């Protein structure tokens, strides 16, 4: 391990806004479906946000990377509390350091696996979830952060009518998520396949923050000429979530082509 990573890991231990629960304390013999609750569960506003009242919305960004999206949301909305979640400590260091330097009392970071969410957040404790440029996981449906498996986890921690935002450069993931919503009768509040352009099939009122707050990766993709998609939907279904039979995985995988990389420059027309 490089010296810079070791330095960041050591500094992470000093950030009060960064929670790093031990996986061994959460994951027991029963696996992901028999987790041990962490003391912060149900107590985020009290423990991590200085006793913020229950009326303070709690918003998660899953797979937050360096946390720039979480930080920007927190700057714009001081009346809400934000938690960036990622498993990579070296990435979270950047967000935690920025939050500490700026004295942002409404932002925290959580180093953990997304599979552990139900051990860390109580039923109804979370108001909204952002999925920003998640890996589309084309070959593993259950690994997609908008799959029925993950939606079930989100349902357990979201308040009634809780919302999920999906912002991605992957048309594959966008169309898959739309198919999941249709298969489960989930209410899609707004949807567009071209957030910054003209999309005649756009529906609903897209929140301004969806355009105004951009991740590092989003800026890179926009510079390369890729379209950004966005949708928001409500987790409001009772009963088990089902997989979408109508989604043509092979077709959308072929249409999307190889996963985009920063070294790839699209042809300009």
Task: Tell me, rounded to whole angstroms, the distance of Cα 172 from its chain centroid.
Answer: 17
| Residue 58: partners with Cβ closer than 8 Å, 6 or more residues away | 44, 45, 80, 81, 82, 83, 125, 126, 127
Residue 180 exposed, middle or buried by CB count within 10 Å (0-12, 13-18, 19+): buried
Q: Which of 85, 82, 126 minimizes the C-alpha distance to 105?
A: 82
- Return d(Cα 42, Cα 261) in angstroms, integer: 39
Q: How many CB atoms lie within 10 A of CB 120?
A: 23
Active site residue 236: no
Q: How far apart are the first and last CA of the chain?
A: 44
Query: Which listed residue (37, 72, 127, 135) is catalytic?
Result: 135
Instruction: Provide the pairing of β-strand 229-234 with 81-86.
Output: unpaired
Q: Is the dihedral of CA 63, 213, 138, 174 positive or negative?
A: positive
Place of tokens 């009963």: 239
Residues with a catalytic annotation lie at: 135
């Amino acid at each position: 391990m490089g010296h810079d990573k070791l330095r960041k890991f050591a500094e992470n231990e000093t950030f009060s806004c960064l929670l790093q629960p031990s996986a061994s304390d959460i994951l027991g013999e029963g696996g992901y479906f028999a987790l041990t609750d962490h003391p912060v569960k149900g107590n985020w506003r009290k423990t991590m946000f200085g006793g913020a009242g229950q009326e303070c919305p709690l918003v998660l960004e899953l797979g937050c990377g360096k946390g720039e999206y979480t930080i920007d949301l927190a700057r714009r909305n001081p009346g809400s509390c934000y938690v960036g979640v990622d498993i990579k400590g070296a990435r979270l260091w950047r967000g935690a350091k920025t939050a500490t330097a700026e004295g942002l009392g409404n932002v925290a970071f959580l180093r953990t696996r997304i599979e552990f969410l139900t051990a860390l957040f109580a039923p109804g404790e979370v108001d909204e979830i952002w999925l920003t440029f998640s890996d589309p996981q084309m070959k593993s449906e259950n690994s997609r952060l908008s799959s029925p498996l993950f939606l079930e986890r989100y349902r357990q921690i979201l308040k009634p009518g809780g919302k999920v935002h999906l912002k991605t450069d992957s048309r594959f993931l966008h169309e898959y998520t739309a198919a999941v919503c249709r298969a489960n009768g989930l209410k899609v509040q707004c949807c567009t396949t071209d957030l910054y352009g003209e999309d005649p099939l756009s529906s609903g009122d897209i929140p301004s923050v969806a355009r105004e707050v951009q991740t590092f990766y989003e800026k890179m993709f926009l510079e390369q000429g890729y379209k950004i998609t966005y949708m928001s939907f409500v987790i409001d279904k009772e009963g088990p979530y089902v997989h979408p039979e109508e989604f043509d995985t092979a077709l959308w995988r072929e249409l999307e082509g190889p996963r985009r990389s920063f070294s790839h420059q699209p042809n300009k027309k």
